[in-house]
Chain A
Amino acid sequence: MDPNPTSPAGARRTILIDPVTRIEGHAKITIHLGEDGSVEGARFHVTEYRGFEKFCEGRPFTEMAAITARICGICPVSHLLASAKTGDRILAVTIPPVAEKLRRLLNLAQITQSHALSFFHLSSPDFLLGWDSDPARRNIFGLIAADPELARGGIRLRQFGQDLIERLGGRRIHAAWAVPGGVRNPLDPADRDAIRARLPEAFATTKAALARFKGLLDGPLAVEAATFGCFPSLFMGLVGADGRWEHYDGKLRLIDADGAVLAEALPQQRINEVLTEAVEPWTYLKFPYYKPLGPEDGSYRVGPLARLNVCERIGTERADAELLELRQRGGRVVTSSFHYHLARLIEILAALEAIEVLLDDPEICCRHVRAHAGVNAFEAVGVSEAPRGTLFHHYRVDANGLIEAVNLIIATGQNNRAMNRTVTQIARQHIQAGPVAASGNEAAEISEGLLNRVEAGIRCFDPCLSCSTHAAGQMPLHVQMLDAGGAVLSERWRS
């Protein structure tokens, strides 16, 4: 990646937000201003590189689940499942039915804990403490001081998901429990009962958060709902039988902004025939798109909002009622990226209801959980829905099962173009053309609230940059405004 990229054509100054805060990974934002001080464009740069796809070459495919789970400490389960599913196809086995149910349980726990982290820990300080509140307090600790009950509920909801992951896989993070052919261990009845006992509290927290957030959407957050990445685009996600909400397996559906189905079932095993990845010199994050429509029109969004847009219904009572309300609020296809937050809360509710159903399944503690086989296919793709969207693992192996090639298509990458459009839209909303902005005396113009809103545009997508570039980093904030020659006109730091 070029560390000093040139500005887009026509841009005369650049505002740099580096790094972006309260996201998972390391990134910066540049806002490019024209001669008249209006926003020419904005870019979301991912500035780290890790190279998993390269160093996994030569390893046994059976190790890939444990290795790729180490890409991320927030959603290791997503990689674990996509990798295990790829491994199933290399073994060419049908895994035991209870193994699939247990993997589903694991993914639902992951969706719950990751969405709770995104909503309560990372994003809700903006909603509840205010966009322009003191940045030193605009975080989970400020939330604990201002609204201890909500903060405690959110923290405990995330803990519920993590606890379920630990009870299934033996540890909260990087539990290498899903393996090619199934899972390692069955669910202990005592663990099932312990999880079931915590469900009522999890439901209550989710219900309270939904009521609170919907109230804010009808009031102070109405502007953000209309301006944070509100644009038509394609949406992609898995759907289950009868078009139901799906998170683990099913058909890969692609729809347009009007809800028309462009592809009911994209060919998952030949995904590189329909999806391809564009590369830009100013970011390590690739730009996947739907090949037949090209890089611009073929860009699509994935994740909680996309999953709720592509499905017909969720299939559980309480979540379906919330989905109906979401569609009443934003239309059949909800195009405002700000509604990713609401979609996240609805998915938590859907996950809790699905967990309840699975825990009541009479065979959930069955002990036959793993199929064994040798290498029976040399190339396979595994697809699952990570909290942030559709995740693809694509492996090619030799006759003995050693990895020859790896490609990982990550949810955050698929939202890359949408994130760039979102920060551009927010910047245009809040930076107006005018003599002050163009004069070179901009220090006062880069307000804290503006920076936070631009960052919040990114947080809508809950990007996981550790996964998407396979990167990690600390996230203080650096903002620069540059003139046409690249000289720094003004600068702000937030540590």
Chain B
Amino acid sequence: MSVSTLMIDGHEVAMAAGATLLAAAREVGITIPTLCHLEGLSPVAACRLCLVEIEGSGKLEPACITPVLEGMVVRTDTSRLQDYRRTVIELLFTEGNHVCAVCVANGHCELQDRAVDVGMDHSRLPYRYPDRPVDLSHHLFGLDHNRCILCTRCVRVCDEVEGAHVWDVGWRGEHCRIISGLNQPWGEVDSCTNCGKCVQVCPTGALFHKGDTAEEKHDDSSQLVALVRARQARQVAP
């Protein structure tokens, strides 16, 4: 197994070829903020929150999908990156309708946590207040498009872990949104197994347990990590 040695924020780290910069940073205790990334699901680099600077490269690269290379010099927390990350979070807040005070996920929301991490005390961008629907057709769960940040964790977990592939991304640009069963009401999608994994991995209050009121969604997406690891362990066991 070949190993690459690189520098991240002044820390020397040796990683197996194929490992990502995100994994390398975590190896040496450096936290790079993420939203769409979740261990156990394939990376998509959608949220752009984990962008890092690589010496010699003119463009920023997402740490979640960029493989380590020998001799890389990486910076994860420059003032430029801090400003970009805050802007990314502000874009997410202003693009949807995120009203934390009355949200089911208030206090247990990864978007809210990242906003705190990047120091977003207000938005420098104007709010768009889009008119988006809520789908309560499923008998157990609800989908509020106002709170969706299009991280696609639900799409990936349903396809890659549950194997049901209920979710997709429909439309384009500002009309882009998560759709179930090729754009049917969620409650009418026969392929849904009601497993709730999509709700569990949703970083915001977009997917929730029906009947939940403000602050009642306490799902922990890291539980999926344990599930995936247990499955992998079973597969490699003799």
Contacts and interface: CB of A to CB of B under 8 A. Distances in A.
Contact of B213 (A176, A374, A400, A401): A176
Contacts of A59: 134
Given A63-B102, A374-B139, A184 B216 contact: yes
B212 A62 contact: yes
Contacts of B102: 63, 66-67, 70, 176
Chain A CB count within 10 A is highest, among B101, B133, B214, B215, for B214
A372 B211 CA distance: 8
A58 interface: yes
B134 A58 contact: yes
Interface in B117-157: 133-134, 136-137, 139, 142
B213 to A, nearest CB: 5
A477 B113 CA distance: 42
Contacts, number: 43
Interface residues of A, number: 19
A402 interface: yes
A62 B142 CA distance: 11
A60 interface: yes
Contacts of B211: 62, 180, 372
Contacts of A184: 213, 216
> Interface residues of B toward A: which range?
10 to 19
Nearest to A66: B214
Contacts of A60: 134, 136, 142, 210
B196 to A, nearest CB: 16
Contacts of A70: 101-102
A63 B214 contact: yes
Interface in A50-89: 58-60, 62-63, 65-67, 70
Interface string B40-65: 00000000000000000000000000
B131 to A, nearest CB: 8
B136 A402 contact: yes
Interface of B: 101-102, 104, 133-134, 136-137, 139, 142, 187, 210-216
Contacts of B139: 374
Nearest to B137: A400
A60 B214 CA distance: 11
Given A60-B142, A70-B101, A374-B139, A65 B213 contact: yes
Given A70-B101, A70-B102, A63 B136 contact: no
24 contacts: A58-B134, A60-B142, A60-B210, A62-B211, A62-B213, A63-B104, A63-B213, A63-B214, A66-B101, A66-B102, A67-B102, A70-B101, A174-B101, A176-B213, A179-B213, A180-B213, A184-B213, A184-B216, A372-B211, A400-B136, A400-B137, A401-B136, A402-B134, A402-B136
Interface in A173-215: 174, 176, 179-180, 184
A62 B213 CA distance: 6
B217 to A, nearest CB: 12
Majority secondary structure of chain A interface residues (helix, strand, loop or mixed)? loop
A180 B211 CA distance: 9
A65 B104 CA distance: 12
> Nearest 7 CB-CB pairs, A to B?
A66-B214, A400-B136, A176-B214, A66-B102, A179-B213, A67-B102, A62-B213
A456 to B, nearest CB: 34
Given A59-B134, A63-B214, 19 more contacts: A60-B136, A60-B210, A62-B210, A62-B212, A65-B213, A66-B101, A66-B102, A66-B213, A70-B101, A174-B101, A176-B102, A176-B213, A176-B214, A179-B213, A180-B211, A372-B211, A374-B139, A401-B136, A402-B134
Contacts of B213: 62-63, 65-66, 176, 179-180, 184
Contacts of B210: 60, 62, 401
A401 B213 CA distance: 13
Interface in A350-401: 372, 374, 400-401
Contacts of B212: 62
A347 to B, nearest CB: 29
A70 B214 CA distance: 12
Chain A CB count within 10 A is highest, among B102, B136, B139, B213, for B213
Contacts of A62: 210-213
Contacts of A67: 102
A241 B104 CA distance: 38
Nearest to A400: B136
B101 to A, nearest CB: 6
A63 B210 CA distance: 11
B88 to A, nearest CB: 27
A63 B102 CA distance: 7
A174 B99 CA distance: 14
Contacts of A372: 211
Interface in A378-437: 400-402
A143 B142 CA distance: 52
Given A63-B213, A66-B213, A176-B213, A58 B133 contact: yes
Nearest to A179: B213
A400 B142 CA distance: 10
A160 to B, nearest CB: 25
Contacts of B142: 60
Chain B CB count within 10 A is highest, among A60, A65, A70, for A60
A67 B136 CA distance: 18
A341 B214 CA distance: 35
B221 to A, nearest CB: 22
Contacts of B101: 66, 70, 174
A390 B104 CA distance: 29
Nearest to A177: B213
Nearest to A174: B101
B199 to A, nearest CB: 15
A6 to B, nearest CB: 36
Contacts of A401: 136, 210
Interface string A228-264: 0000000000000000000000000000000000000
